Structure 1
Amino acid sequence: MLVFTSAIFLLLITPGPGVLSIAGVGAAFGQRAGIRYFLGLLTGTNLVAISVVTGLSGAVLAFPWVFNALFAASICYLTYLAYRIATAGNRIAVVEAKSRPGYWSGILFQALNPKAYVVNTTLFTGFAFMPEAREWEILTKFVIINAIWIPIHILWLWAGSSVRRLDLSEKAHRRINYLMAAAMLSVVALAANSFL
């Protein structure tokens, strides 16, 4: 179980689309919008885990055209989210509530996040520590994963929203947004490169 817990920590703490997006949302739109987005990510990541555990994701992704369509959609959505973060501008420019990613954006993000499927498949199909009680092992894995996932994502949200609360110039705030968007685009580039 210690090896499993260590693997979760290492897989989740490394910058991927989820943590970069929540930090970017926190920096660009503030903590309140970030919390709604966080709750969507949390729901989405657990829905992805359920689809992996039940075999639904494997059955759906067994069709190459479905995989290709979902992969293209994920690349487009991650790029769109990077664009929204980059164009959030300064603190005054993000007043419009309709421009803030919310709960449903978080769910959609995780549904299209390739890392979410890879991580959950790795964690639920590997690291067996209760082979005689598979159902309890799956339940225990859900508890451990969420016990690590939640604080890591809250930490990234706090980091992003802390940057927003700093008394930075409009130019510096825009640069931070650009940096977060560039980090997100680098994840997109890595994902696209691994696919090609």
Structure 2
Amino acid sequence: MTLESGITFFLAIFVFSITPGPGVFAILARSMTKGVRASIFLSLGMVLSDIVYLVMACYGLAAIASSWETAFLVIRYAGAAYLMYLGYKMWVSPVSTSSVEGERGSKSQIASFMQGFMISASNPKVILFYVAFLPTFMDLTVLSASDIVLASFLAFVALFMGLMLISIGASQARRLLTSERSMKSLNRTAGGIMASAGAFLALKN
């Protein structure tokens, strides 16, 4: 991968990361209600799942992944149900105007990470994106381990930056809402977004 193709690859992945979808909607909803810190592990889970797909694409494992259609379907519906459950919890959660951000405790962080991983892992079409996308930047027939490491690193940084940019923007909007009424509306908006992301994940082809 040349310097020019590496920069282009990075920018393309960054744009991909901020394209609306279940993952972006989940980040929006989490950041609007709990702030940026609460979205870090959620984002890391999504990014790691994408990296797994990217590596699979590099090694030509798309055909194997397609044979796991039933497993992916189960994961997708489980992820959709979980997102809709979280949306409901946000909708009915008590109003808080506290400025404290983040999730405390390793259990909540692990749960957030696994939620993010599940959201991305439930979309096997991501690997097809990478299969079609990677040959533009590297020759997959002579791919070296260093090429895969470089592509994974660039994708990790680009994806995480994109998701964090969305998270920061949503969190800043949250800071402008300080009244109890506005926070209640924010909770319900975020809950609606999260539930809609779950529905989208369940109904998409």
TM-score (norm 2): 0.72
Pairwise CA distance, 1:78: 1.8
Unaligned stretches of 5+ residues in structure 1: none
What letter is aligned with 1:183?
Answer: I
> Where in structure 2 are the equivalents of 1:1-196 lying within 5 Å?
1=5, 4-50=9-55, 53=58, 59=64, 62-91=67-96, 102-113=109-120, 117-128=124-135, 129-131=137-139, 133-135=142-144, 136-195=146-205
For the aligned residues, what is the CA RMSD?
A: 3.4
* CA distance in 1: counterparts of 2:45 and 2:68, whole angstroms: 27
* CA distance in 1: counterparts of 2:61 and 2:85, whole angstroms: 27
Contact 1:25 1:34 in 2 (8 A): yes
* CA distance in 1: counterparts of 2:57 and 2:118, whole angstroms: 12
Contact 1:45 1:116 in 2 (8 A): no
Contact 2:62 2:128 in 1 (8 A): no
* CA distance in 1: counterparts of 2:63 and 2:195, whole angstroms: 27
Q: Deviations over 1:128-173 (max 9, x none)?
A: 1221641344333212212211211111221232233224212212
Aligned CA distance change for structure 1 residues 50 and 170 (closer, same or farther; 3 Å): farther
Aligned CA distance change for structure 1 residues 83 and 107 (closer, same or farther; 3 Å): same
Pairwise CA distance, 1:122: 1.0
What letter is aligned with 2:114?
Answer: I
| SS of the residue 1:126 aligns to | helix
Aligned CA distance change for structure 1 residues 36 and 68 (closer, same or farther; 3 Å): closer
* CA distance in 2: counterparts of 1:79 and 1:24, whole angstroms: 12
* CA distance in 2: counterparts of 1:81 and 1:6, whole angstroms: 32
Unaligned stretches of 5+ residues in structure 2: none
Aligned CA distance change for structure 1 residues 56 and 86 (closer, same or farther; 3 Å): farther
* CA distance in 1: counterparts of 2:27 and 2:47, whole angstroms: 11
| SS of the residue 1:91 aligns to | coil
* CA distance in 2: counterparts of 1:101 and 1:171, whole angstroms: 27
* CA distance in 1: counterparts of 2:122 and 2:9, whole angstroms: 17
